[in-house]
Amino acid sequence: MIRGIRGAVTVEEDRPELIHDAVIRVVRDMADANDLHPEQVAQVIITMTEDLTSTFPAGAVRKMEGWQFVPVMCAQEIPVPGSMEKCIRLMVTAEVSVSQAEVQHVYHGKAASLRPDLKAEQRQ
């Protein structure tokens, strides 16, 4: 079954290396938590808040071993007043063998507070 797997992370500063490291960490943790391999992934959509402009986060995914052929797209998150700053959100669409309720969504840093209703794996 095709499922959406959510992930998010925050960074302290708008620096390319911090953004790339954060994206790689979240994608790896999403893959590990859902026993996911790149061949199962149809696409990855990444959004960043308007205060993150120093790099394209898709470049980090494309450098990961086995992920270079996965379609990745970046966009800007809607700038809603009062929303979380310096936040990167990911949506991985993939073929998995679990129910929607069993999908493990991954949130790091301040982003762990975004969707507590999903009982996301929350790491600092």
Q: Report the DSSP beta bridge partners of residue 95.
A: 2
- Which strands, in side-by-side order, build the sheet including 106-108? 72-76, 41-48, 87-95, 2-10, 106-108, 121-123
- Domain span at residue 108? 2-116
pLDDT at 113 over 90: no
Q: How many domains does the chain have?
A: 1
Assign 119 a pLDDT band (cuts: 50, 70, 90): low
Q: Give percent above pLDDT 70 in the chain.
A: 94
- For residues 18 and 23, what is the distance between their CA atoms, to the nearest angstrom? 9
Q: Residue 30 falls within a domain, yes or no?
A: yes
pLDDT, tens only, 69-110: 999 999 999 999 999 999 999 999 999 999 999 999 999 989
Catalogue the active-site residues.
6, 62, 74, 77, 89, 107, 115
In a domain, 19, yes or no: yes
Q: Please give the share of the chain, as a percent, with pLDDT higher than 90.
A: 89
